[in-house]
Amino acid sequence: MNRTVDAGKTLIVDGPASVMVSSGLAEVFGLLTDQKNKIVIREGKRLPFVVKQEATFEILLGENANAEEVDSDTIPKSWIMAFEKVLKSKTQPAVIMVLGAVDSGKTSFCTYLVNRLLNMEKKVAVLDGDLGQSDIGPPCTIAYAFVTKPIADLFSLEAENAFFVGITSPSKASEKVIEGLVLLKKEILDKGADFIIVNTDGWVEGEDAINYKVQLVKKLKPDMLFAIQQSVELQHLLQTLESSTPILIKSPSAIKQRSREKRKTLRELGYMKYLKNAKVQSIPLNWLKIEGSELFSLYRTYEDVQRAREIYGLLGMKPLFFREQKEKIVVVIGRNRWIDKSSIEKVEEYTKKKVVVLRKGEEEGLLVGLYNANKNFLGIGILQEVDYRRKFLKILTPVSGEISVVNMGKVKLDRKFKEIPIIAEEDFAF
């Protein structure tokens, strides 16, 4: 489909679609597009093409995609002013942090700042702290990339390094997110940048979210803090952050809100991207350091054989794997075995700890983060099996380098890389 749009108007395209400007000139979040580049808009995403000189677009629309003309620019004036403030920043390198609820325009604002700064020949890095809707790096990670040329979608960037958090929501991993962001920020600073744009997750409401965001600001010490607000959702956060002088900017009215389901689908596209060409690898457990897992945390350390024997006696069986932790006892049994309730109660009474029974096979599908011996992030994988007898892990991953550290996530994926709900949290023993 071809479409000609007058200067001053904006063509809004909802993906999945691809757009090429065959004549004239348009701008997407500060990226000037002409005949040279074809822009792909993913499903669930929307891009505004601001027409600078009368332009003809060649548009390919996928299922449920849409292209629509509007009269004005959809980039808020406050974004333009924000860029000017950033450019005048007295400190360099300058750390610019962006806060806002889900679907407020955080990613788009970061893209806009990056492109406009690149047009001014600045050295720019993006540190992506939105683990649930990550633009750079696999879902459930935070990651960064230096951007060398203007882009329409941060998703097309390749992560230079990442930090695996292993969960989609920061509410259950706020310390880990902060730790990762601090670490990666330092790494970017060591490499040298004029501007570091830090994107954050959309968890902004409620006491826990506010405390977490306050900590994040305190630890990352941004030189400039932007907050994108739709209505009044940031009110409390902004009051609490007053001493960091946040700059309030508008959320574009043309924004596309996504349902929870849509955000999950977008994440699944992310898993797919990072698990493409994955193969199964079998790795001996004693070659590996296992992190993020209570189950394996004591692996290779001294075990009280006498105590284990007593517990097996009470259970009436020898399990595949057994681990006594501070507050609970984890017992792994074969797929077709079972332990009767009274035996479990006997152990609980004797040890004064809760017994968690895992069945072999329950580990299948867990998302894992993989690192080499120098703690460089290699990629993600899916745990296929823990071979408790032969002491091997089987992991589906495209990673080819030598894996030394496996970080166990708390997300499970099926064979088509769709997220599946995980068992009750208190029983999550991995």
Nearest to 112 by CA among 134, 83, 88: 83
Question: What is the residue whose two structure tokens read 């993989």?
Answer: 370
**From Mg ion, ligand ADP, none, which one binds at residue 165 (CB under 5 to 8 Å depending on kind)?**
none
**From Mg ion, ligand ADP, none, which one binds at residue 48 (CB under 5 to 8 Å depending on kind)?**
ligand ADP
**CA 379, CA 371: separation in Å to the nearest integer?**
7
Virtual CA dihedral for 106, 111, 113, 115, nearest 10 degrees?
A: -170
Cβ neighbours of 155 (radius 10 Å): 18
Non-local CB neighbours of 387 within 8 Å, separated by 6+ positions = 282, 393, 394
**From Mg ion, ligand ADP, none, which one binds at residue 200 (CB under 5 to 8 Å depending on kind)?**
none
Spell 189-206 as b/e; 16+ CB within 10 A means b. Answer: eeeebebbbbbbbbbbee
CB of residue 69 to ligand ADP, shortest distance in Å: 12
Query: Which CB sits closer to ligand ADP, 255 or 339?
Result: 255
Contact residue for ligand ADP among 78, 115, 133, 397 (CB under 6 A): 133
Contact residue for ligand ADP among 27, 103, 363, 419 (CB under 6 A): 103
CB of residue 232 to ligand ADP, shortest distance in Å: 17
Q: Is 100 in the site for ligand ADP (CB under 6 A)?
A: yes
Query: Which CB sits closer to ligand ADP, 44 or 365?
Result: 44
Contact residue for ligand ADP among 9, 256, 262, 418 (CB under 6 A): 256
What is the DSSP pairing of strand 224-229 with strand 94-100?
parallel
The mark string for 118-157 relative to Mg ion (x by CB under 5 A, - otherwise) is ---------------x------------------------
Q: Is 254 in the site for ligand ADP (CB under 6 A)?
A: yes
Cα end-to-end distance, the chain, whole Å:
52
Q: Is 107 in the site for Mg ion (CB under 5 A)?
A: yes
CB of residue 32 to ligand ADP, shortest distance in Å: 16
* Contact (Cβ atoms closer than 8 angstroms) between residue 393 and residue 149: no
CB of residue 342 to ligand ADP, shortest distance in Å: 51
Q: Is 108 in the site for ligand ADP (CB under 6 A)?
A: yes
Spell 378-388 as b/e; 16+ CB within 10 A means b. Answer: bbbbbbbbbeb
Query: Segment 282-341, which members bind ligand ADP (CB under 6 A)?
Result: none
* Contact (Cβ atoms closer than 8 angstroms) between residue 61 and residue 1: yes
Sites of contact with Mg ion (CB under 5 A): 106-107, 133
